[in-house]
Amino acid sequence: MTYRPFLLALPRTILLIFCGIALIIFLCFFHPQQQYSFRLSLPHRFVDWKILSTDDNATLGVMKKIYVIHLPNRTDRRDEMEQLRRALGLRWTYVEAMPADHRLVGKIMACVSAIRTTMSTNARDTSFVWPEEDPSPGERISPWDPRFLAMMSKIPAWRNFDIPLLKASENYTPAACDHNTPDWLFPMQSEIACWYSHVSVIERIANDASLRDNDAALILEDDVDMERDIHARLKHVWAYLPEEWDIVFLGHCCSEENFYPALDFTGNSTTTTDKMMHLHPSRSPWCGHAYALTRAGARRLLVHLRHMPLAYSRPIDAAMSMLVEKQRVKSFSIVPSIISQRKCLISDIADGTRSEERIDLIHGVLSGSA
C-alpha cells in the first residue's frame, strides 16, 4: 500500500477550503512592519476613532477634522487621550508619529548639514529668499523641496561634515559653535522626528480635497488636556475671527500672546475685555501641542516649512513662531490657552518631564482643576 500524506489524501474541494481558511487567518493576524518612505503621505497610519455622535460637536463645533500625533508605544498617553475623547464626546484621527531612532532621522540631519556646507562655500547661495507664498489652488504640494529630497537620496547614512550641525535662528542663521556652545543649540533626533510628524499632518490637510480653503482642522499632540467647556469657549471666540486666517493657537507657551489688542466681532483690534477669553493677533507663540489650520493656511505653512534653508533647521514650534513674527502667516492666539500640555508625563523630546512654562487650565478634564 502506497503511503500518501494526510493533506494530499483529502478530496480536492476540502483541501481548497482548508487552504482558503488558512490564508484568511494569515491575512487577519499577520501585519508586516510599516516602513517610512520619502513621501510623507504614505507611511503614517491614520486610525479614526468614530463615536455614535456625528454632529459638529464631535469635532469641537468649529473644526472639520481633528488629528492627534501619537507614538504607538506611549500607551500611557493613549489611555489618557481616550479618557479625554470620551469625556468631551470627540472624534479624531490618530497619526503614527516617527520615532526618534528611525533611520530617516539621521539622513535628514546629514542633509541639513550638507546644505549648510554648500551654502557656506557658495556665496551666492547664502542670501535668503522667501518661497512663493501662494501655490495654485489645485496643485498638490509635496512635503519635500525637490532639491532637499534629491540631496537626501544620495546620503547613505549619517557622517561628519565640514561644519557642525546647530540650530538656526531668524531666517537662516546657524549658531556659532565653540567649546562653550550649550547643548540645547544642538538639534536632537527627537526634534527632527517631531518636525517630520507635524509636517505629515500639515501635508494631509493641505492636500485634502474634501476641505474648502477656509475649513479648519485641529492638530494635537498626545499629551494635552482641555477645558471642560471647550465647546462653548470655541463657539464664543470663533466669532471674532476675520474671514481669512491661517493659524489659531488654542494652546501656547513662553510668549506674551496678549501683547496685541484683542479682536472684536468685526475682526478689528479693541481694548474691550471679556470675562471668558480673548482672541489676539499672535506675537510669537511657542509649543505646537494644539493649533488649528485652515486648508489655505496649511498650504501656505507647508510651502514655508519645506523651504530648503528653513526645513529641519530648528524645532518646528520655533520655526512656526518665526513665521508668525515675520508675518508670513496670518495667526491668532486664544488667551488664556484652552488646551494645555500635561507636564506630569515623560517627554519624548526633552529629557525627563517637560520643563517649559506650565499653563494651568481653569477647569481641565484630566487635571481636575477646580
Average pLDDT over residues 60-82: 96
CA–CA gap between residue 357 and residue 343 (Å, rounded): 9
DSSP class per residue in 57-78: GGGTTT-SEEEEEE-TT-HHHH
Q: How confident is the model at residue 340 (pLDDT cuts 50, 70, 90)?
A: very high
Of 55-59, 135-139, 185-189, 304-308, which has the strongest mean pLDDT?
304-308
Mapped onto helix, strand or coil, the DSSP state of residue 30 is coil
**Segment of 134-138, 166-170, 276-280 carrying the highest mean pLDDT:** 276-280
List pLDDT tens digits, range 45-65: 444 433 334 467 899 999 999
Q: What is the pLDDT of residue 337?
A: 94
Q: List, as one string, the DSSP characters of 306-362.
A: TSTTTTTSS-HHHHHHHHHHTTSS-EEEEES-SEEE-TTSBPSSSSSB--SPP---S
Asked whether the predicted pLDDT for residue 288 surpasses 70, the reply is yes
Give residue 138's pLDDT band: very low, low, confident or very high (50, 70, 90): confident
Task: Flag whether pLDDT at 9 surpasses 90.
Answer: no
User: Residue 328: how many CB atoms within 10 A of its CB?
Assistant: 18
187 secondary structure, DSSP code:
P
Reply yes or no on whether the pLDDT at 186 is more than 90: no
Is the separation of the CB atoms in 352 and 75 below 8 Å?
A: no
Given this model, what pLDDT does residue 301 score? 96
Contact 40, 67 (CB under 8 A): no
> What pTM was estimated for this model as a whole?
0.78
* Lowest-confidence segment of 53-67, 220-234, 284-298 by average pLDDT: 53-67
Q: pLDDT band for position 129 (50/70/90)?
A: confident
- Please check whether residue 280 is in contact with residue 254, taking contact to mean a CB–CB distance below 8 angstroms: no
Interior CA angle at 50 toward 223 and 238, to 5°?
65
Q: Which residue has the higher pLDDT, 16 or 332?
A: 332
On whether the CB atoms of residues 176 and 275 are closer than 8 A, the answer is no
How far from each other are the two terminal CA atoms of the chain, in whole angstroms?
84
Q: What is the pLDDT of residue 220?
A: 98
Query: Using CA of residue 261, residue 287, residue 164, residue 147, what is the dihedral sign?
Result: negative
- Locate 58 and state its grid cell: 464631535
Highest averaged pLDDT of the listed ranges 24-28, 41-45, 74-78 = 74-78
Q: Residues 185, 128: contact at Cβ < 8 Å?
A: no
User: How far apart, in Å, are the Cα atoms of 250 and each of 17, 311, 370?
Assistant: 56, 24, 20
Which residue did the predictor score with more confidence, 281 or 356? 281
Q: Which residue has the higher pLDDT, 279 or 4?
A: 279
Q: Which residue has the cell 515623560?
A: 346
Closest CA to 237 of 362, 332, 124: 332
Torsion of CA 267, 268, 272, 276, to 10 degrees: 20
* 185 — pLDDT class (breaks 50, 70, 90): low
Mean pLDDT of 274-290: 85
Given a cut of 50, is residue 31 above it in pLDDT?
no
- Which position has the grid cell 512654562? 357
Confidence bin at 349 (pLDDT 50/70/90): low
Question: What confidence tier does 170 reach under pLDDT thresholds 50, 70, 90?
Answer: low
Distance, C-alpha 315 to centroid of its chain: 12
> Mind listing the pLDDT tens digit for each residue in 200-212?
999 999 999 999 9
DSSP string for 220-273: EETTEEEBTTHHHHHHHHHTTS-SS-SEEESS-BSS-TTSSPEE-TTS-EE---
Cell of 296: 489655505
Q: Please give the average per-residue pLDDT across 264-269, as a whole number.
A: 60
